[in-house]
Amino acid sequence: MADSTFDVVSKVDHQEADNALNQAVKEVEQRYDFKGTDASIAWSGEKILIKANSEERAKAVLDVFETKLIKRGISLKSLDSGEPFASGKEYRIESSLKNGIDQENAKKISKLIREEGPKSVRAQIQGDELRVSSKSRDDLQDTMALLRSSNLEIDVQFTNFR
């Protein structure tokens, strides 16, 4: 019998993130507490750029965006936001969405599976994802439950379960 496998990936649906950003833009334009603060949020290449005339307003815009991401089913672990910094007369926050599992986190996940997962399960790092294999599908499902319950630094999804 062939081994069963699944892939552990960390991907963000770019369309959902774009929808969340557009909803945040509408809310920032309409809310009374943002009137006259020159608050805005927009894509700047692959990054998300938040601008406002005070540090508190910039953080408030970020909070609105985070709320919209949660409503769209995108984990905040996928959002990497910097601290507000002054740029001329305005404050800016640069944020980006994390895609893929970096080597450091892949090694942590692999080690976690080796130490705490079922003995028959093996994990291989393949680029920016992890392939987990075992003869037993039940062991693979136990491994998925283990990864969901562990407090990882990144948001993980499971694909190609065969």
Residue 30 phi/psi, 5-degree rounding, is: -95, -25
Supply the pLDDT for residue 137: 87
Task: Indicate whether 36 and 77 sit together in one domain.
Answer: yes
Task: Indicate whether 31 and 91 sit together in one domain.
Answer: yes
Domain limits at 146? Answer: 4-11+101-159
Supply the pLDDT for residue 88: 85
Task: Indicate whether 25 and 79 sit together in one domain.
Answer: yes
Task: Indicate whether 119 and 57 sit together in one domain.
Answer: no
Task: Indicate whether 71 and 108 sit together in one domain.
Answer: no
With beta carbons less than 8 A apart as the criterion, state whether 110 and 119 touch: no
- Which of 52, 67, 97 corresponds to the end of one domain? 97
Lowest mean pLDDT among 1-5, 18-22, 33-37, 143-147: 1-5
Strand order in the sheet with 122-126: 122-126, 129-134, 4-9, 157-159
Task: Indicate whether 110 and 151 sit together in one domain.
Answer: yes
CA distances from 154 to 43, 57, 59, 108 (A): 22, 27, 22, 11
Q: Concatenated DSSP letters for 34-87?
A: GTTTT-EEEEETTEEEEEESSHHHHHHHHHHHHHHHHHTT--GGGEEE---EEE
- Which of 52, 75, 97 corresponds to the end of one domain? 97
The structural domain count of the chain equals 2
Return the CATH number at 53. Answer: 3.30.70.990
Supply the pLDDT for residue 154: 86
Helices and strands (DSSP H and E) totals, the chain: 4, 9
Task: Indicate whether 116 and 92 sit together in one domain.
Answer: no
Task: Indicate whether 24 and 93 sit together in one domain.
Answer: yes
* Per-residue model confidence as pLDDT tens digits over 39-96: 999 998 889 999 999 899 999 999 999 999 999 999 999 899 989 988 888 999 999 9
Task: Indicate whether 93 and 44 sit together in one domain.
Answer: yes
* Per-residue model confidence as pLDDT tens digits over 11-38: 988 999 999 999 999 999 999 988 888 8
Task: Indicate whether 147 and 123 sit together in one domain.
Answer: yes
DSSP H or E segment with residue 7:
strand 4-9
Task: Indicate whether 79 and 21 sit together in one domain.
Answer: yes
Tokens for 23?
Answer: 């909803």
Task: Indicate whether 111 and 87 sit together in one domain.
Answer: no
